[in-house]
Amino acid sequence: MQQQISVVTIGSSDLVRSKRFYAEGFGWKPVFENEEIIFYQMNGLMLAVFALGSLETDMNRTGSLKPAGFALGHNVHTKDDVEPLIDRLASAGGTILRPADAPLHGGFRGYVADPDGHAWEIAWNAAWSIDDHGLVTFGL
Amino acid sequence: MQQQISVVTIGSSDLVRSKRFYAEGFGWKPVFENEEIIFYQMNGLMLAVFALGSLETDMNRTGSLKPAGFALGHNVHTKDDVEPLIDRLASAGGTILRPADAPLHGGFRGYVADPDGHAWEIAWNAAWSIDDHGLVTFGL
């Protein structure tokens, strides 16, 4: 079995608001969108922002829009890139959960919730390489 | 800004139980593990299974282990691969949310929740190519 994630799908209660957050916050452009779903071509996988009711119908589980025990990570190339991105995400409709600071395991990171509460960790981690295509490789 | 997800981190209330699920269900091997976190090197990003209390402390948000409006996707190469994998994930401690069927947009898919309730969509989608490294590219 390939060690492979094909798509991360997050539920949205307002696709217009979500699109603004990802466009103005991260500067990302959709590869496809309609009234129900927005796809972003990421580093070898897809990010899907799916109307919450449609996602709940698709996964056959309802009542699910709550902050959850999960986080998405976006690593940047230098320590100085972390705080400006967190500030930009907050300006684009996000909520800062943790202002950037240095965790015990090293690096520098903060957390921002998107408009639906999905947590994004914005991190600089010198031990994890990121190539020109955005592919991330583990390191200690 | 790279259109890049570096890590998907999911909270676990029992790392031993989670490790069994990902090993026996998907057949995946960690690249690193300790008593608090397990990392899997995926297709250009990391999957982290993090002790829930530690994740909540790190993201500065508590009370978060609830099924949420998000799903992870693992696409397989043929339609016939979908149901055996769903069955194997259920045998490894998962809960089937939706047995595999054909959605209106085409393909074939079902959903399984991992032991902490994180939803995985297991799908065959002929329009999305997957290369030998597991990198997924959007298509219609």
Q: Chain A closest CA to B50's CA: distance in Å?
A: 9
Tokens, residue A71: 């986080």
- Check CB contact under 8 Å for A5 and B118: no
Q: Each residue of A53-89: pLDDT tens digit?
A: 888 888 787 766 565 567 888 999 999 999 999 999 9
Question: Taking CB atoms and an 8 Å cutoff, what residues of chain B touch A58?
Answer: 98, 103, 111, 121
pLDDT at A69: 66
pLDDT digits (tens, 9 = 90+) for A84-133: 999 999 999 889 989 999 988 789 999 988 887 788 999 999 888 888 88
What integer pLDDT is reported at residue A136 of this predicted model? 86
CA-CA distance, A59 to A10, in Å (whole number)? 12
What is residue B69's predicted lDDT score, i.e. its pLDDT? 67
Residue among A6, A65, A116 minimizing CB distance to B75: A6
Average pLDDT of the residues in A32-58: 89
Q: Return the C-alpha torsion angle A32, A38, A42, A46, nearest 10.
A: -100
> What residues in chain B have per-residue pLDDT under 70?
63-69
Q: Is B1 on the interface with A (CB under 8 A)?
A: yes
A7 touches chain B (CB under 8 A): yes
What is the rounded CA–CA span in Å between residue A28 and residue B43?
Answer: 20
Q: CB A44 to CB B45 under 8 A? A: yes
Whole-angstrom distance, CA of residue A42 vs CA of residue A9: 12
**How crowded is the C-beta side of B72, counted as CA atoms within 13 Å?**
24
pLDDT at B140: 85
Quote ipTM for the complex: 0.81
Taking the alpha carbons at both ends of chain B, their separation in whole angstroms is: 25
Reading the block at residue A82, the tokens are 């972390």
Q: Is B111 helix (H, G, I), strand (E, B) or coil?
A: strand
**Looking at per-residue confidence, does A134 or A107 come out higher?**
A107
Residue A64: the pLDDT is: 61
CB contact under 8 A, A2 and B130: yes
pLDDT category of residue A4 using cuts at 50, 70 and 90: confident
